[in-house]
Structure 1
Amino acid sequence: MRITDLNREGGIGSNSLLVEAGPFTFVVDAGLHPKLAGNQAMPDFAHIEDRHIDFVMVTHCHLDHIGSLPILLQQHPEARVLMSLPSQMLVERMLHNSCNVMKRQKAELRIAEYPLFTHEDVERIANRFEPLKYEQTLSFERAGQTLTLTLHQAGHVAGAGGFEVHHDGHSVFFTGDVLFDDQRTIGGARFPQPKRFDAMVIETTRGGTERAEGITRASEVHRLLGTIRATLERGGSILIPVFALGRMQELLTLINEARKDGRLPRCPVFGAGLGLDIADYFDQISKRTQLIRYSRKTAKELRLKRPPRQLKPGKEPPEQGIYILSSGMLVERTPSYQLAATLLAHGRNSICFVGYCDPDTPGGKLLETKPGQTFVFEAFDYQCQVRAQVERFEMSGHADREEILAFALAAEPKTIMLTHGDPDARDWFSAQLNDAEHSVRVIDPPPLQAVELFE
């Protein structure tokens, strides 16, 4: 089995893997790089050339995993497209939103290639999305050989899946993006354990992040609620930047529960954007499956409000409250970025990050800025001293590095390939795996170079 990382930049970005197993060829994910623009944000699909693609396996619906899917499917009209049922219900909405974002960026940033695909392109491929049930096995036959694929619940976000592949006497497990802990809205990963695999392809997102001793998801939720309560008591507002898929619905549920049981006082709660549309999809998914714990009742009980449209940097919003807004990394010109510019200069407010922030994004840069130092909102040509309380809470949708390492080693694979991680994250996994009790061949694949999984 040969695997080629089609993400030309490596690291975390335009996630896509080309997998060749005897007469079978398939692709895992087709994303867009969140920090690049135009054609440079895409995987290098030219590397696939004219190969016949049997199927595309979509692990989940974050745009760094599906953002270039319409382009790949245009180039390979015969390829089947496989994903979980929740992902199949979400993927079109996510891709249509990506069209809207690209159109706006074309106008604002003058990116000539945008949009990379249109709403009509998304509609043309919609009937090709095939839902798989978790634990369902699908078989492919060609040239007297068989390849089987089984999807498993991966936590992380609604519909996320890891999967195992069996071919020619070998077994390989792809984790995808994984979270083992249960969340308020979805259950954690339900991977096959204990089970032996010959090889594994694992995500390494949090390989560079060491969780302090005694810190748990429950303790971080408790600390977050304490920060929100203290901020409200001193007359301030709270911004919680969130990812539209997964994190917003999780926070809406958490805040609603905390208000109902008295852990938080009743106050205005604000939400906006794609995340609220996705919340409606969560309601539909929960009615069709037992995989999501969310309903429209949550927003009604919160009496969710829209934030004011006209916001001026440095001037606080007219109404105090809790603002749950995307993007999770304060990407420029998003609702969270706009609101942060109104809150940051005032000491009674708080900005609470609850997920991964790339160091190069405005959110990542803000987390590195100390109180009293100057922070620049470049899109607004506005700067201010950091006076608001800025905190990070370990509530990531990705599993801790120790958890992934333990899962991988328990399967006793002969080979482990590292994906979806920055260099320091991959270095940590490499070092730990090289010190493992049983011998493991570790592959950190160079971009666009085919690597043999089995020697």
Structure 2
Amino acid sequence: MTTADEALDDIHEQVEAETPDDITISRVQFEGAELVIYTPDVKAFAARDRLVPNLAQTFQKRITVRPTPDALVPQDKATPEIREIIPDDAGVQSIDFDSDTGEVLIEAEKPGLVIGRRGNTLDEIRTAVGWTPEVVRTPPIESSTVSNVRNFLKQERQDRREILERVGRQIHRPTTSEEDWVRITTLGCCREVGRAAFILSTPETRILIDCGDKPGAEGEVPYLQAPEALAAGPQSIDAVVLTHAHLDHSALLPILFKYGYDGPIYTTEPTRDLMGLLQLDYLDVASKEGRTPPYESQMVRETLKHTIPVEYGNVTDIAPDVKLTMHNAGHILGSAVCHFHVGEGHYNVAFSGDIHYEDTRLLDGAVNDFPRVETLVLESTYGGRNDYQTDQADSERNLEAVINEVHEQDGKVLIPAFAVGRSQELMLVLEEAMREGRIPTMPVYLDGMIREATAIHAAYPEHLRERLRDRILYEDDNPFLADQFQQVDGGDEMRRDVVDGEPAIILTTSGMITGGPIMSWLRLLGGDPNSTLTFVGYQAEGTLGRQIQQGRDEISMNDTAGNGAERVALNMGVETVDGFSGHADRAGLESFVETMNPRPERILCVHGDESSTDQLSSALYQKFNMRTVAPKNLETFRLA
């Protein structure tokens, strides 16, 4: 018998000892960080208000109580009973049963009505049919990604449960070392933007944080073959934690499964869906450009199957000696500042990922309130001494001025933007500016993945700013559905029609002009002096976007007829409108650190070019008298 089995036997005995005699405990099981209790007496469990909280306190774990099969009303009888209990106004779309777990998944347009006041409706369902109800929201905008992910995870239920049980045993294995130390190894994104990857090590555990590519630099990937990483074998990594879905943080996660990794990936639920969308597009773009993708789509499915969603603020065991808490990072939907609590109060490390400290139209600003942080790994994208972004209101006025001028010239405003985050922020700005008459009402064409990414945002309104959430959920006033937003779904033929038509705004991927639909738009619009290319986001070193921003007026791209390289002169205007970046500027980064209480003892400045990381590191040292460093890739730091 393994030690995990022995631990479960001990827990089983203790649970039985602490529950009333009229409740039978059939079995207990670790599933990830949770302790799952199976019983035929779910109603008796529910009738004792403090029983589950008391057990959670005893074992210091989240407790889930599930019914055994003999306690369940048959599905054909349970379905009409559930529908009878739920108010018609809830808009129930589907009811799906999982007999292995005793759960019933209810998809509804208004989940709050399914849950009921203080969960009363859920309790009524549980009492009537025995099944444990789980509720998901029907996306206000149809999303193929959300639908496909949900259906895929339903199909993989058995494998998912086996993965969770295996992960649970790993998490709850006994510790073997009497030493206490913590180390961080940098595998990428140091003195550069992109290929984010770090290893957090203890005597018991190794955790990989992020695994991304480097925009505009094909072949520059994280140093995964380093001794601290996969050189010791993929199974030597206990867990992967993903801060957010952008490809410079997530693109190469599927390659881990190609190498043989079979463990969990912890991230938020929106990040899981966005990650799948971006990774599949990453493969599609590589294929269209004649490049060999580093992995196949099956590896993306494996990544999704191994993902364990974490809610903001929930403390989650991910290893015998490490707890993870994710907090809103304000960067994009689902982005997280990841806080790691190591040992029994031994050490605390936070990885900022990418952060935006101030509130935006789309998201609340980054959280920096932690009980303890000794070391902070901080992004430095805009960490240079002169990297102060324009105030948001001024930025919007500047963008409106560009649009008005181009409209008077009967031209087009071409905006390369990240599909996730900046595009949705811009859609909100444009919708309001047109509604209030600050710019003329005109078509806003969405090309690439922008429409689908927007649908995913609408599927998770609880992650958005309160005012926006209320408009979507309660006021039937979803700004993303405004009439002026039109999807480009006709390829180059539709793009030519747009170019030949009335003045318009075009939002298109990719945000750094590293491939994708933006290349077609540049071919069609590049020679038009009445149109303007408008940058609203960060352009990394080495990208075509940075080169154009710095004055390049001719570009080379593949001839659509396959006749080799085509030279395209850029006669269109080029503007940069600061203030729309999803990253904190220099002032925001300093404020993030200044308002932390207590402040960290040490900061590693990463994810910025060499001057930005050096200058931010020096400034933080001088202002706050703390240890700071701008590490290089492949350095290891002992923290404790």
Contact 2:358 2:588 in 1 (8 A): no
Matched, 1:44 2:223: yes
Matched, 1:274 2:449: yes
Cross-structure match for 2:266: 82
Relative to 1, partners in 2 of residues 1:312 and 1:331: Cα closer, same or farther, differing over 3 Å? farther
- Residue 619 of structure 2 is aligned with which of 429, 432, 439? 432
Task: Please tell me the residue identity of whatever aligns with 2:293.
Answer: P
Contact 1:32 1:67 in 2 (8 A): yes
Deviation at 1:366, TM superposition (A): 1.4
SS at match of 1:56: strand
Relative to 1, partners in 2 of residues 1:392 and 1:359: Cα closer, same or farther, differing over 3 Å? farther
The structure with the largest helix share of the pair is 2
Give the TM-score taking structure 2 as reference length. Answer: 0.63
Matched, 1:31 2:207: no
- Residue 171 of structure 1 is aligned with which of 345, 348, 351? 348
Count of paired positions:
435
Cross-structure match for 1:352: 534
SS at match of 1:301: coil
Range with greater deviation from structure 2 (349-358 or 406-415): 406-415
SS at match of 1:89: helix
- The 2-side partners of 1:360 and 1:160 are apart by 25
Contact 1:345 1:387 in 2 (8 A): yes
Cross-structure match for 1:190: 367
SS at match of 1:339: helix
SS at match of 1:338: helix
Cross-structure match for 2:296: 118
- Residue 329 of structure 1 is aligned with which of 512, 526, 534? 512
- Residue 417 of structure 1 is aligned with which of 579, 586, 604? 604
Cross-structure match for 1:199: 375
Cross-structure match for 1:96: 280
Relative to 1, partners in 2 of residues 1:335 and 1:290: Cα closer, same or farther, differing over 3 Å? closer
Contact 1:208 1:424 in 2 (8 A): yes
Cross-structure match for 1:219: 394
Range with greater deviation from structure 2 (52-61 or 121-130): 121-130
Matched, 1:395 2:580: yes
Give the TM-score taking structure 1 as reference length. Answer: 0.87
Deviation at 1:388, TM superposition (A): 2.1
Per-residue Cα deviation, 1:346-386 (whole angstroms, up to 9, x for no partner): 332222111001242222111111xxx84334545324364
- The 1-side partners of 2:197 and 2:269 are apart by 21
Task: Please tell me the residue identity of whatever aligns with 1:432.
Answer: A
Relative to 1, partners in 2 of residues 1:349 and 1:450: Cα closer, same or farther, differing over 3 Å? same
Deviation at 1:248, TM superposition (A): 1.5
Relative to 1, partners in 2 of residues 1:336 and 1:141: Cα closer, same or farther, differing over 3 Å? closer
Task: Please tell me the residue identity of whatever aligns with 2:621.
Answer: N
Give structure 1 stretches of 5+ with no counterpart: none
Range with greater deviation from structure 2 (180-189 or 315-324): 315-324
Q: 1 or 2 for the larger relative contact order (CA 8 Å, sep ≥6)? A: 1
- Residue 415 of structure 2 is aligned with which of 240, 243, 246? 240
Contact 2:403 2:413 in 1 (8 A): yes
Contact 1:8 1:44 in 2 (8 A): no
- The 1-side partners of 2:319 and 2:416 are apart by 46
- The 2-side partners of 1:148 and 1:328 are apart by 35
- The 2-side partners of 1:314 and 1:88 are apart by 35
Task: Please tell me the residue identity of whatever aligns with 1:327.
Answer: S
SS at match of 2:188: coil
Matched, 1:375 2:550: no
Contact 2:388 2:585 in 1 (8 A): no
Cross-structure match for 2:636: 450
Deviation at 1:123, TM superposition (A): 1.6
- The 2-side partners of 1:263 and 1:125 are apart by 45
Deviation at 1:55, TM superposition (A): 1.2
Give structure 2 stretches of 5+ with no counterpart: 1-181, 473-477, 560-565
Contact 1:102 1:116 in 2 (8 A): no
- The 2-side partners of 1:329 and 1:205 are apart by 14
SS at match of 2:599: coil
Percent identity of equivalent pairs: 24
Cross-structure match for 2:436: 261
